[in-house]
């Protein structure tokens, strides 16, 4: 059976990508070798539906471990690598950037080197067909003012947090491997995702979990920072398109055309919960609390995703309203998953981050 490698496939987006791959590609889907270190953000429970599916192979492997990667490449001879594995939370990168440098920069470099060594062993046909798709973020472009145009593929990089700086570095490495070695790479830069299996340290799942738990809903600063939001299933569909038909060496912006202030997002979530799981008295909005701002908090992100629509015909299927309703319903239906990931290390994080 032909295989693709997915790194970080036990995390939020990677997990959705793996599940969607088998759900959408039909009986003849290539197998997936899922390479994940299982940090606090990786959760095998997300992959339970694939437990007895022989097309899915899980390997607990650190992308910084070159020997282990070489062994996997030699064993499975993948036709592509889809690279999600990363440290992904801005607030954690502020408390401790070292892991971000290690995984996002050194890890991507190690993976590129292993992929290049393997790619060089392929015959001309397989070499031309091979793909290395690097999944990145809109945060590499820095912060916009209210009136600036959206980020396009040619916007200059200006990362502001240790997280976005480490992702920017990894994007540059991927680009360099195309220019210098001719490796067949593709890069996607996507806006904020939301949806099922999202770890509740990020805004949307945190607010849902805290609302249901009767806890404060913490809004940083004035709540007017703007993010563009995309349903995770739409992001996964975009990645499948770019993998299948993207132009080598190109980058593609992926976005939802949903610019919202954080306060708008939290209000919408509260209103959905008031409708779908009403409280005995009052509204979930009563739990909103303004807290100290994030240091260096980027004001606005916005994505111009027209290139992807023009060249590959992709556009999001979900609106913010339909995607958010689906997401809230998923969290209401999957409290066991949430309780499971909110144990142990998660509690330490919450007491450190929200102590003040």
Pick from 61, 104, 192, 253: which binds ligand TYD (CB under 6 A)?
192
Give min distance, CB of 229 to ligand NAD, in A.
9
Active site residue 275: no
Whole-number Å distance between alpha carbons of 166 and 108: 10
Whole-number Å distance between alpha carbons of 133 and 117: 16
Could you tell me where the beta strands, DSSP code E, fall in 78-149? 80-83, 131-137
Tell me which of ligand TYD, ligand NAD, none is bound by residue 103, counting a contact when its beta carbon lies within the kind-specific cut-off of 5 to 8 angstroms. Answer: ligand NAD
Binding flag, residue 187, ligand NAD (CB under 6 A): no
Whole-number Å distance between alpha carbons of 6 and 82: 5
The site for ligand NAD, by CB under 6 A, has a size of 31
CB of 84 closer than 8 Å to CB of 13: yes
Binding flag, residue 188, ligand TYD (CB under 6 A): no
Pick from 188, 189, 225, 327: which binds ligand TYD (CB under 6 A)?
225
Whole-number Å distance between alpha carbons of 70 and 123: 18
Residue 34 to residues 138, 216, 322: CA-CA distances in angstroms? 25, 36, 30
Options 48-56, 118-126, 132-140, 286-294: segment touching ligand NAD (CB under 6 A):
132-140
Tell me which of ligand TYD, ligand NAD, none is bound by residue 227, counting a contact when its beta carbon lies within the kind-specific cut-off of 5 to 8 angstroms. Answer: ligand TYD
Give min distance, CB of 79 to ligand TYD, in A.
31
Whole-number Å distance between alpha carbons of 45 and 197: 9
| Nearer CB in complex with ligand NAD: 36/259 | 36
CB of 184 closer than 8 Å to CB of 130: yes
Angle made by CA atoms 42, 336, 94, in degrees to the nearest 5: 40
What's the number of CA atoms in the CB half-sphere (13 Å) around residue 119?
22
The residue whose Cβ lies closest to ligand NAD is 11
Q: Which of 261, 252, 233, 255 is nearest to 312 (CA)?
A: 252
**Footprint (CB under 6 A) of ligand NAD, residues 26-45:** 36-39, 41-42
Residue 291 to residues 212, 217, 219, 223, 333: CA-CA distances in angstroms? 19, 9, 6, 10, 29
Binding flag, residue 218, ligand TYD (CB under 6 A): yes
Cβ neighbours for 246, distance < 8 A, ≥ 6 positions apart = 131, 133, 186, 252, 312
**Footprint (CB under 6 A) of ligand NAD, residues 53-92:** 62-64, 84-88
Tell me which of ligand TYD, ligand NAD, none is bound by residue 46, counting a contact when its beta carbon lies within the kind-specific cut-off of 5 to 8 angstroms. Answer: none
Binding flag, residue 227, ligand TYD (CB under 6 A): yes
Active site residue 304: no
**Footprint (CB under 6 A) of ligand TYD, residues 79-138:** 90
**Footprint (CB under 6 A) of ligand NAD, residues 146-185:** 167
Active site residue 70: no
Residues lying near ligand NAD in the complex (CB under 6 A): 7-8, 10-14, 36-39, 41-42, 62-64, 84-88, 103, 107, 135-137, 167, 190, 192-193, 199
Task: Report, as residue numbers or ranges, the catalytic residues.
Answer: 138-139, 163
Residues lying near ligand TYD in the complex (CB under 6 A): 90, 192, 202-203, 206, 218-220, 225, 227, 262, 294
């Amino acid at each position: 059976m032909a295989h693709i490698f997915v790194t970080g496939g036990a995390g939020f987006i990677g997990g959705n990508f793996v599940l969607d791959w088998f759900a959408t590609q039909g009986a003849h889907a290539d197998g997936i070798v899922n390479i994940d270190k299982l940090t606090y953000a990786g959760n095998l429970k997300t992959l339970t539906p694939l437990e007895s599916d022989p097309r899915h192979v899980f390997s607990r492997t650190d992308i910084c471990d070159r020997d282990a990667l070489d062994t996997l490449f030699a064993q499975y001879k993948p036709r592509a690598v889809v690279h999600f594995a990363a440290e992904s939370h801005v607030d954690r990168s502020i408390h401790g950037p070292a892991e971000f440098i290690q995984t996002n920069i050194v890890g991507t470099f190690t993976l590129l080197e292993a992929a290049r060594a393997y790619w060089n062993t392929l015959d001309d046909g397989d070499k031309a067909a091979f793909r290395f798709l690097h999944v990145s973020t809109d945060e590499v472009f820095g912060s916009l003012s209210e009136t600036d145009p959206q980020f396009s593929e040619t916007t200059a990089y200006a990362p502001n947090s240790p997280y976005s700086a480490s992702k920017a570095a990894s994007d540059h490495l991927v680009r360099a491997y195309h220019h210098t070695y001719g490796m067949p790479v593709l890069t996607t830069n996507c806006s904020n995702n939301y949806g099922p299996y999202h770890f509740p340290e990020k805004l949307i799942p945190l607010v849902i979990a805290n609302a249901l738990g009767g806890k404060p809903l913490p809004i940083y600063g004035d709540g007017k920072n703007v993010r563009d939001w995309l349903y995770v299933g739409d992001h996964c569909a975009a990645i499948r398109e770019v993998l299948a038909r993207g132009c080598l060496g190109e980058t593609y912006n992926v976005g939802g055309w949903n610019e919202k202030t954080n306060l708008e997002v939290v209000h919408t979530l509260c209103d959905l919960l008031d409708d779908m799981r009403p409280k005995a008295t009052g509204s979930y909005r009563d739990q909103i609390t303004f807290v100290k701002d994030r240091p260096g908090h980027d004001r606005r992100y916005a994505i111009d995703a027209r290139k992807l629509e023009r060249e590959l015909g992709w556009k999001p299927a979900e609106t913010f309203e339909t995607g958010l309703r689906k997401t809230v319903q998923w969290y209401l239906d999957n409290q066991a998953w949430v309780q499971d990931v909110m144990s142990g290390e998660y509690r330490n994080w919450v007491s450190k981050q929200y102590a003040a």
